[in-house]
Structure 1
Amino acid sequence: MMPVMDGLETFSELQANLVTRSIPVILLTAKAQPAELKSFTQLQVFDVITKPYDPFNLADRVAQVLS
């Protein structure tokens, strides 16, 4: 869990700023219920990686998503 703001609040702040709006955002979350994943898609985040995840493959997954 993130202190002060959660990931969606952080994403909203990034989207509200012209400088950071175009940065691709990948959420790393434990919230993996179908309704939550659907809302992430509707927000147009670049990708969602759900916990638990394999830390040894995380960098490869991010690189694959961003390529």
Structure 2
Amino acid sequence: MKNKILLVEDEKNIVLGVTICLRSAGLDVAVAEDGADALRKLETDKPDLVLLDLVMPKLNGLDALQAMKANETTRDIPVIVLSARAQEEDIQRAMELGAADYMAKPFRPEELLAVIRQVLAEGV
């Protein structure tokens, strides 16, 4: 069975690139445009992992992460943050809120796949 990934990202070029990368690696991908859209989708469909941008309209990534980890049905879904914000305080805050990992943009597709495989294998 394919692992299902929910990509939460508002930049269409990043959505396209990451989706192609993940699908070519045999992963199933769903997309949410912002944190609010992600929380709605998580009510009906439970992915194996969430890739989460931080800077988005409506509901930012940190608020979405906090809401996911506070919800009994979504708290155990591992989240990898993908963000251009790579300051230590951003990374620390995301990890404190329960992120399994944090990748700074830009990143190489093979690095992203390696981190995804590691997090899925660990069952974080």
TM-score bin, normalised by smaller chain: 0.7 to 0.9
Cα distance in 2 between the residues matched to 1:56 and 1:42: 26
8 Å CA contact retained: 2:83, 2:103: yes
Structure 2 gaps of 5+ residues are 1-54
Q: Secondary structure at the match of 1:48?
A: strand
2:68·2:74 contact (CA, 8 Å) conserved in 1? yes
Count of paired positions: 67
TM-score (norm 1): 0.80
The alpha-carbon deviation at position 9 of structure 1 amounts to: 1.1
Identity %: 37
* Counterpart for residue 10 of structure 1: 64
CA RMSD of aligned residues (A): 1.6
Aligned to 1:64: 118
TM-score when normalising by structure 2: 0.48
- Counting only pairs closer than 5 Å after superposition, residues 29-48 of structure 1 correspond to structure 2 as 29-48=83-102
Q: Which runs of 5+ in 1 are unaligned?
A: none
- Give 1:16's aligned amino acid: A
Structure with more of its chain in strand, by fraction: 2
